[in-house]
Amino acid sequence: MSVFRAANNLNKGPSDRPYAINPRPRDETIPDGPTERIHDRKSRLRRDRLAWLGVVVAVFALITSSIAVLAAWRAMSVARLVAAGMPAVAGATAPPAADGFSVTYAQEPLRVQVGCSAVLFVDLDEPRANADEKLSDLRYDSRCGQDVPRLTLGPGAAAGAQVKDTDTDADGCRRAIRTAPIGPGGGVPVRKGAVLCVLTAAIPASISLVEITDVGTTGTAGMRATSWRVTG
Dihedral pair phi/psi, residue 89, rounded to 5°: -80, 130
Q: Give yes or no for residue 174 having a pLDDT over 90.
A: yes
- What are the start-end ranges of the E strands in 65-201? 101-113, 119-123, 128-129, 138-141, 150-153, 157-163, 188-189, 195-200
- Banded pLDDT at 206 (limits 50, 70, 90): very high
Least confident of 22-26, 87-91, 217-221: 87-91
What mean pLDDT value characterizes the chain? 78
222 burial level (CB within 10 Å; 0-12, 13-18, 19+): middle
Query: What pLDDT shows up at residue 86?
Result: 38
Helix H or strand E segment including 213: strand 206-215
**Mode of pairing for the β-strands spanning 206-215 and 220-230:** antiparallel
Q: Give yes or no for residue 148 having a pLDDT over 60.
A: yes
CA–CA dist 145, 51 (Å, integer) = 79
Query: What percent of the chain lies above the pLDDT cut of 90?
Result: 49
**Mode of pairing for the β-strands spanning 195-200 and 101-113:** unpaired
pLDDT: which is higher, 155 or 36: 155
CB 125 within 8 A of CB 156: yes
Q: Give yes or no for residue 74 having a pLDDT over 80.
A: no
How many other C-beta atoms lie within 10 A of the C-beta of residue 26?
Answer: 8
CA–CA dist 188, 159 (Å, integer) = 13
Give the residue extent of every domain in the chain: 23-83, 101-230
